[in-house]
Amino acid sequence: MIDIFQNIQRMLETSPHLQRLGRLFSETVLIEVDGQEFYLTFDKGRIESVVTGPSRKTPWRFALRTDGDALTKFWQSRPEPGFHDIFGLVKIGRGRIDGDILTLVKNLRFFKEVLALARTQEEQPA
Amino acid sequence: MTIEAITGRYLTVTIGGTPRRIYFEEAGQGRPVLCLHTAGADTRQWRHLMNDAGVTANHRLIAFDMPWHGKSLPPEGFETQEYLLTTEAYIETVLAVIDGLGLDRPILAGCSMGGRIALQLAALQAHKFSGFIAIEASDFQPAWYDIDWFHRPDAHGGEMGAALVSANISPYAPKAERWNTLWMFMQSGPGVFRGDLSFYTRDDSLIGRLSRIDTGKTPVHLLVGAYDLTCTPEDAARTAQAIPGATLAVMEELGHFPMSEHPEGFRPYFVAALEKMDPAQAAAA
């Protein structure tokens, strides 16, 4: 799983339009997959680091908690209904979003498109 | 070069005791079909069907921008008002446009909040219409988000609204139309999407009215996209079941804005819906 997040980190480096969208976003986001923690620290629209947990000392702004199977489906080029969006995961009971949701919403396009960078490239992001 | 068949004009009607300048577009001739846009958007959502010669050969499609939306101005004094759409104001607006344009019992086709008000009108003012196509429409769903997110001084409500509603667009939607659909939300005036959502997520008055709808006189057909997280196929099915004689089609590869996000995918469902608007056929179905 960490490979995928590191791949997203690399792909973001070559996505100037996303860096521009996220230029005011410098936060740490916790992504929890099957109980395993991944801390993605963003700095002005780039991912500075991807660090695995567990950690009780790493402050995060918001968290997406889901499972590996759901993320695998999310990363299909044409996901099944519900798996096509992070809020879809929440709606179908396969994901939970915690923390400062308003910060997520203010940066929602950026965050969703960054997460969708790992989506099989057939069509389009988020 | 292409010049489209759609024409746009303005109509001034009185709503809530004050004059409102309303922008409307139309194309085609024949049986009138009045088309209602979703929350936070405008008439452009219907442009593909209005440019569809196969549809407009025998239907006159008319769409209008609700006050505060698109090219319809807010009322005078809006600068000190909080925009909160209500069922009553919405009904008054639709009926004022019908009267203003002199439409004789049009079919009413509405999407999302437009579908909700179509069902309200089917329950309360059915004699003014000849059928209802309720798209992504349901009795009621409370918000799973905070509508106040979309109107605040420290963030762009339109951009946040677009990012939120992108959750309701199918991955089968062509990329260009996905973004054209989202652009309308990005352009929405401050507080307008919030005011629409107030109606959509807080007024549950339709629930008790569904059983009043007489589909023997005015057919009701519901359409719902499988990728719609806001009005899910389950929401639409529950609603259709509460309306004796209503029919429902689930559109497997579409989302919450089918006419706008995926015009080609939506077309056959809309054409089939128009065919169901003949009361004789609806009764036979």
Q: What is the pLDDT of residues A72-91, one digit of tens each?
A: 999 999 999 999 999 999 99
Query: By the 8 A CB rule, do B168 and B134 touch?
Result: no
Selecting from B144, B167, B232 the residue whose C-beta is nearest the C-beta of A85 gives B167
Q: Of A62, A86, A87, which to mutate for an interface test with B (greatest number of B Cβ within 10 Å)?
A: A87
Tell me which CATH homologous superfamily contains domain A2-118. Answer: SCP2 sterol-binding domain (3.30.1050.10)
Ordered mean pLDDT values, 10 residues apiece, chain A (126 residues): 97 98 98 98 98 94 98 97 98 97 97 96 55
**For residue B157, is pLDDT > 80?**
yes
Q: Of A24, A89, A90, A108, which to mutate for an interface test with B (greatest number of B Cβ within 10 Å)?
A: A108
Residues of chain B neighbouring A90 (CB-CB closer than 8 A): 144
**For residue B189, is pLDDT > 70?**
yes
ipTM: 0.93
Contact A108/B at CB under 8 A: yes
CB neighbours of A89 closer than 8 A, spacing ≥ 6? A64, A66, A70, A74, A82, A83, A95
**For residue B281, is pLDDT > 70?**
no
Helices (H), A40-118: 68-74, 86-91, 101-106, 108-115
Selecting from A91, A109, A112 the residue whose C-beta is nearest the C-beta of B229 gives A91
Sorted by where each starts, the structural domains of chain B and their CATH numbers stand as: 7-284 (3.40.50.1820)
Q: Distance between CA atoms of B111 and B144, rounded to whole angstroms?
A: 19
Contact B127/A at CB under 8 A: no
Phi, psi of B177 (to 5 degrees): -75, -30
Looking at chain B, which residue has its C-alpha nearest residue A124? B175
CA atoms within 13 A on the CB side of A29: 25
Which is nearest to A28 in space by CA: A51, A5, A2, A4?
A51
Which is nearest to B255 in space by CA: A30, A22, A90, A79?
A79
Structural domain boundaries in chain A: 2-118
pLDDT of residue B145: 86
The one-letter code for the residue type at B73 is L
Selecting from B159, B160, B172 the residue whose C-beta is nearest the C-beta of A78 gives B172
CA triple A55-A60-A63, angle to 5 deg: 95
Q: What tens digit of pLDDT does each residue of B39-81 get?
A: 999 999 999 999 999 999 999 999 999 999 999 999 999 999 9
Please indicate whether, in this complex, the C-beta atoms of A87 and B144 are within 8 angstroms of each other: yes
CA distance A9 to chain B (A): 21
Q: Distance between CA atoms of B178 and B187, rounded to whole angstroms?
A: 15
Selecting from B155, B160, B171 the residue whose C-beta is nearest the C-beta of A79 gives B171
Contact B160/A at CB under 8 A: yes
Looking at chain B, which residue has its C-alpha nearest residue A74? B171
How far is the CA of B200 from the CAs of A59, B39, B136, B205, in angstroms?
37, 8, 12, 11
Looking at chain A, which residue has its C-alpha nearest residue B157? A106
Please indicate whether, in this complex, the C-beta atoms of A87 and B170 are within 8 angstroms of each other: no
Residues of chain A neighbouring B167 (CB-CB closer than 8 A): 84-88
